[in-house]
Structure 1
Amino acid sequence: MASPYTELTVGDRVVKVTNPDKIYFPEIGVTKRELVEYYVSVGDGILRALYDRPAHLRRYPDGIEGEEIYQKRMPAKRPEWVRTATVRFPSGRTADALNVTEIAAVAYCANLGTIDFHPWQVRSSDVEHPDELRVDIDPQPGTGFKEAREVAFVVRELLQELGMTGFPKTSGGRGIHVAVRIEPRWDFIQVRHAGIAFAREVERRVPHLATTAWWKEERGERIFLDYNQNARDRTLAAAYSVRAKPNAPVSTPVAWDELADVDPRDFDIRTVPARFAALGDVHAAIDERAFSIEPLLERFEREGAEDLPYPPNYPKMPGEPKRVQPSKARDAADG
């Protein structure tokens, strides 16, 4: 027997939603159809966040309590209007990743069980030169959104001093992401160095609150500034992306002047559409201007061009310090 389905008109396309009543978020009863309709309701926003960017998918075909599929490659069998972009991973291998150019592609992927979308910081026309600098403000145990918000305002202050504009959003958890459009003139290594220089300056200003320590044992109860989110093949959930958590929270763009009062728990799959209908995309201006990272690269060089560790799945990178947990290095030295 054929599976039940419904059809939604999305722009110029008709998108089939199979098993529309399948429950994806059991705790609150959200169905697959509601997930697809959510993404259509914030279409202009999610399209701006994903447009022409290679993206990975976090899929849960049986709902969030089922198996997760982290999909980097799009299947060959798909509608011809669902586009792809070829990306190269740190290993040197390549993949044809999703490349969203219309809202219908988002709806199509949501029907495949995609809960959240994770775009690269490049455009498909130039996948080797990022056009976005990412500041990932990541609470560690003992800290939360309150501390992340304090660090975010230090980030804003530094951006203003550099003559740059950042666009903040909630992560869908306790963290905050700030995106800065940059000129696509530098490679991943250079953009990552700029991110390190930026994070170190924030850490210098509020060392009791923020840290760039890669090793968890050195972070303490501070906010981690994850500079490695600027490395190749490191992705963050897109603006307006639902997260695979019981209450279906949404990574929601906010304006700086409302950040002081927002509670990320107020942003979920059922509340964000009304907010979007009332306010539109509060990040609508994000693509209006791109900035130079030269001041940050100069700062990186002035500070001795000292690199920090890469994630463990990366090959050994030029100039990278030993990728050894500090306590283990001490034990080896003592032994």
Structure 2
Amino acid sequence: MASPFIELNVGGRVIKVTNPDKVYFPDIGATKRELVEYYVSVGEGALRALKDRPTYLKRHPDGVQSEAIYQKRIPPRHPDWLETVTIRFPSGRTADALRVTEVAAIAYCANLGTIDFHPWPTRADDVEHPDELRIDLDPQPGTDFDDARETAFAVLEVLDELGMRGFPKTSGTRGIHINVRIERRWSFTEVRQSAIGLAREVERRRPDLTTTAWWKEERGEKVFIDYNQNARDRTIASAYSVRARPYAPVSTPVTWQELADVNPRDFDIRTVPPRFAELGDVHKEIDDRAFSIEPLLEWYAKDERGDMPYPPNYPKMPGEPKRVQPSKARPSGADDEAG
């Protein structure tokens, strides 16, 4: 008979793992126990990516084939040592989100069926000023990881010219994320504007490969640089997050040298722990220096196109262009003609 639970010692805390033999990832037969033990094995790196950040949980309590529960608020019943932080949504409403302060918190949430961890780009002591610029490279239909890789090196060229250091990781699916530590001097709006400035510069240099078009019908077979991942309340899977796929891929930090020929399918819940044991966290220097985004804001300010659309669930933002799909937009003056 399968054990109803096991107990793990994680940093001096006892974490109960219920239904440890339940298969969570059917393609490789990986269990819930393996998920929790995975996060403990890469705990130093996972904690570096999540430490003191408001964090959302993407839970699949019955494995990846079950419907996801995207949880922004911390579960009402939780250990008293689990910490929280109050955040404000674009609507103005507030909520208490998980604040990750130790590896045991990650293991506890993994036992709740959390597969992906989605942190804010801010720290708990100042949730209004991001310390991370997130560059999300999203291959569109007709493109693949190789196209995202080529785009990443175009981004690297721009960052190098600005004297900024980016840290790349696989998204765990087809894309690439590049994180840049930034000084905590700017609002979400300004950081998003800096992301637009960077994305437009990469698009200017590589119009054959990249696009900043928000509307899918305008993107074509290119890599979309998703500037909106820097808007308030938008998150991406953290470094070392497992992704909810049957083969248990992992969003894995890599060096720029590795990125040149890496295959994202090589990184999963079983291959990343031995890699981590050998190499440690290859992004361990990410907090060593924070950069100014002033050059990116200058690029944004000089561009006559101004702002770009926000996601559809956001209230209308100051300076935002008309938020309507181009193919559905009325021609200018249509209302007058109809009258």
State the match for 1:236 in structure 2: 236
CA separation of 1:305/1:297 partners in 2, compared to 1, >3 Å: closer, same or farther?
farther
How many angstroms apart in 1 are the aligned matches of 2:189 and 2:218?
A: 24
Q: CA deviation at 1:76?
A: 2.5
Deviation of 1:67 after TM superposition, in Å, equals 2.2
Report the equivalent of 2:159. 159
Are the aligned partners of 2:56 and 2:119 in contact in 1 as well (CA < 8 Å)? yes
Instruction: State the Cα deviation string for residues 67-107 of structure 1 (Å, max 9, x = none).
Output: 21000001231111111111100111111111100000000
| Pairing 1:291-310 to 2, within 5 Å after superposition | 291-304=291-304, 306-310=306-310
CA distance in 1: counterparts of 2:136 and 2:284, whole angstroms: 20
Tell me the residue number matched to 2:189: 189
* Residue number in structure 2 paired with 1:119: 119
CA-to-aligned-CA distance 1:8-28 (integer Å, 9 cap, x gap): 000121101011111111221
Distance 1:333 1:279, change over 3 A: farther
- Counterpart amino acid of residue 84 in structure 1: T
Whole-Å Cα distance in 2 between the matches of residues 91 and 23 of structure 1?
A: 38
SS in 2 for 1:106: helix
Deviation string, structure 1 residues 151-193 (Cα, Å, up to 9, x no partner): 0001001001111000000000110000000001000000000
Partner secondary structure for residue 147 of structure 1: helix
User: How far apart, in 2, do the equivalents of 1:93 and 1:75 lie?
Assistant: 18
CA–CA distance in structure 2, aligned partners of residues 263 and 229 of structure 1: 24
- Whole-angstrom distance in 1 between the partners of 2:249 and 2:83: 27
Match in the other structure for 2:66: 66
SS of the equivalent of 1:40 reads helix
Aligned match of 1:25: 25
CA distance in 1, matches of 2:39, 2:28: 18
- The CA deviation at 1:145 is 0.4
State the shift of 1:305 in Å. Answer: 6.5
Q: Secondary structure at the match of 2:329?
A: helix
In the alignment, what sits opposite 1:175?
175
- The residue type paired with residue 122 of structure 1 is T
Q: Which amino acid in the other structure matches residue 112 of structure 2? A: L
Cα deviation 1:118-141 (Å, max 9, x = unaligned): 000000100000000010000000
What does residue 325 of structure 1 align with? 325
2:256 is matched with 256
| 1:75-114 to 2 correspondences below 5 Å | 75-114=75-114
Q: Is the partner of 1:243 in helix, strand or coil? A: coil
How far apart, in 2, do the equivalents of 1:235 and 1:333 lie?
Answer: 38
> Does 1:275 find its partner at 2:263?
no
Contact 2:243 2:249 in 1 (8 A): yes
The total of aligned residue pairs comes to 334
Report the Cα distance in structure 2 between the residues aligned to 1:197 and 1:117, rounded to whole angstroms: 28
Contact 2:26/2:247 (8 A) holds in 1: no
Query: TM-score, normalised to structure 2's length?
Result: 0.96
Give the fraction of aligned pairs with identical amino acids, expressed as a percent.
73
The root-mean-square deviation of aligned C-alpha atoms, in Å, is 1.4
Corresponding residue for residue 316 of structure 1: 316
TM-score, normalization by structure 1: 0.97
What residue in structure 2 maps to residue 226 of structure 1? Answer: 226
Runs of 5+ unmatched residues, structure 2: none
Any residues of structure 2 matched to 1:191-230 within 5 Å, and which? Answer: 191-230=191-230
Using the TM superposition, name which of 304-313 and 233-242 deviates more.
304-313
